[in-house]
Amino acid sequence: MVCLGNICRSPIAEGVMQHKANAAGLDWIIDSAGTNSYHTGEAPHRHSQAICKANGIDISDQRARKFVASDFESYDKIYAMAGDVYLEINRIGGGHADMRKVDYFLNELEPGANASVPDPWYGNEDGYEPVYDMINATCEKILSKYGNK
């Protein structure tokens, strides 16, 4: 799960997807990263932590890190939260990474639409609930698509 800062959107996606996978008895390893390093080492934004906590998910132990080229080797599937993030993932991959592994996160809800999860960093706390709902619905879709053991 990849966004820009790895403090607002992708930590929610990591927390929600890991929670659903665990609850379904799947051994999926979910991780998140940001395409920039402005917040490396920081815990998720307090509003991201709060909306997850309100939904029974604790993401306080997560720490921001930058997306690296070796993530293409480490993970089967890479989701970009937004269009700018998708382009940065490709750039960090050096132009020769396997971009078939990468998709817009919201394409799992609306295939091919290439829509972006709005960045709540630029607004107030009210922005986090719709973002959470969007992420939750998409994670549910991913679970139903790939979670059949």
Q: Which of 114, 149, 144 is nearest to 17 (CA)?
A: 144
| Smallest separation (angstroms) from ligand 4NP to the CB of 70 | 21
- Output 67 or 72, the one with its CB closest to ligand 4NP: 67
- Verify whether residue 65 is a known catalytic residue: no
Q: 84 has which bridge partners?
A: none
User: Alpha-carbon distance 1 to 11, whole Å?
Assistant: 8
**3 classed as catalytic:** yes
Asked if 120 and 9 count as a contact pair (C-beta separation under 8 A), the reply is yes
The catalytic residue among 8, 9, 52, 139 is: 9
The residue among 3 and 106 lying less far from ligand 4NP, judged by its C-beta, is 3
Return d(Cα 137, Cα 133) in angstroms, integer: 6
Positions that interact with ligand 4NP (CB under 6 A) = 3-9, 34, 38-39, 119, 121
Q: Which of 3, 8, 52, 139 is catalytic?
A: 3
Residue nearest to ligand 4NP (CB): 5
Our CB check for ligand 4NP shows the closer of 18 and 48 to be: 48
In which order are the strands placed within the sheet that holds 33-34?
33-34, 2-3, 78-80, 102-104
Query: What is the number of alpha carbons within 13 Å of residue 95 lying toward its C-beta?
Result: 0
9 is catalytic: yes
Shortest gap between Cβ of 149 and ligand 4NP (angstroms)? 31
Distance in Å, CB of 74 to ligand 4NP, minimum: 20
The residues carrying an active-site annotation are: 3, 9, 119
